[in-house]
Chain A
Amino acid sequence: GEDVEQSLFLSVREGDSSVINCTYTDSSSTYLYWYKQEPGAGLQLLTYIFSNMDMKQDQRLTVLLNKKDKHLSLRIADTQTGDSAIYFCAERYNQGGKLIFGQGTELSVKP
């Protein structure tokens, strides 16, 4: 079946690194995504990783993919108060190309 799971909350101090974790079930997924949602807004694509990659880095963001364990993580270096938001992990389901989302992790950054 299709299932993506994330922890619901993460709290860090400004300047620290944040690591948001995600597990998924569909081993045939070709792309995995991280989206950011600020209050009352739509989803903003942060980054994505192709399933044949282990790591992708984009400025302060690092995505790690462990395909064997079906585990995906997003690391935000030097976390800022503006990073406070809900972060969604999603896998692209091969049939129909639809995205399956996790419940979202609410990141709270304290000054």
Chain B
Amino acid sequence: DGGITQSPKYLFRKEGQNVTLSCEQNLNHDAMYWYRQDPGQGLRLIYYSQIVNDFQKGDIAEGYSVSREKKESFPLTVTSAQKNPTAFYLCASSIPGTGRTGNTIYFGEGSWLTVV
């Protein structure tokens, strides 16, 4: 089945550690995104990538890093510089463009990160 797979579903991090969240898609989408969700708030964009080997910072990129070496993969690293990393992280993908193509953005099932 085509879709977006995020792993792990639940992750615990100790203070000062870096952790990496995996996101893989087999939809042949060029664009991929990482969002963070906190209780009572909407989704906030961390990083996005329109094409392989290229990515841009979103609204809350500080303390995070990404790579886009393959079309189907867009891993997110939460570094020790991120002071409040406990949240629900959502990966998404789409066909890029200005919207005229009528494309939509599809989401994975999310990963819960908790700092212990």
Inter-chain contact B102/A98, CB cutoff 8 Å: no
B50: interface (CB < 8 Å): yes
Count of B residues near A, CB < 8 Å? 32
B53: interface (CB < 8 Å): no
Please pick, from A40, A48, A97, the residue contacting B96 in the complex, using a CB distance under 8 A. Answer: A97
Interface string of B90-110 (1 = CB under 8 A from A): 101010111110101111111
What residues on B are CB-neighbors of A29 within 8 Å? Answer: 99
Inter-chain contact A30/B104, CB cutoff 8 Å: no
Q: How far is the CA of A44 from the CA of B109 in the complex (A)?
A: 9
Interface residues of A (CB under 8 A from B): 4, 8, 29-31, 33, 35, 40-45, 48, 50, 88, 92, 94, 96-104
A-B contact pairs, 29 of them (CB 8 A): A4-B42, A8-B40, A31-B102, A33-B105, A40-B110, A41-B109, A42-B6, A42-B109, A42-B110, A43-B43, A45-B106, A45-B107, A88-B42, A94-B98, A96-B48, A96-B50, A97-B94, A97-B96, A97-B98, A98-B33, A98-B48, A99-B43, A99-B45, A99-B105, A100-B45, A101-B35, A101-B42, A102-B42, A103-B40
Interface residues of B (CB under 8 A from A): 4, 6, 31, 33, 35, 40-45, 48, 50, 56, 58, 90, 92, 94, 96-100, 102, 104-110, 112
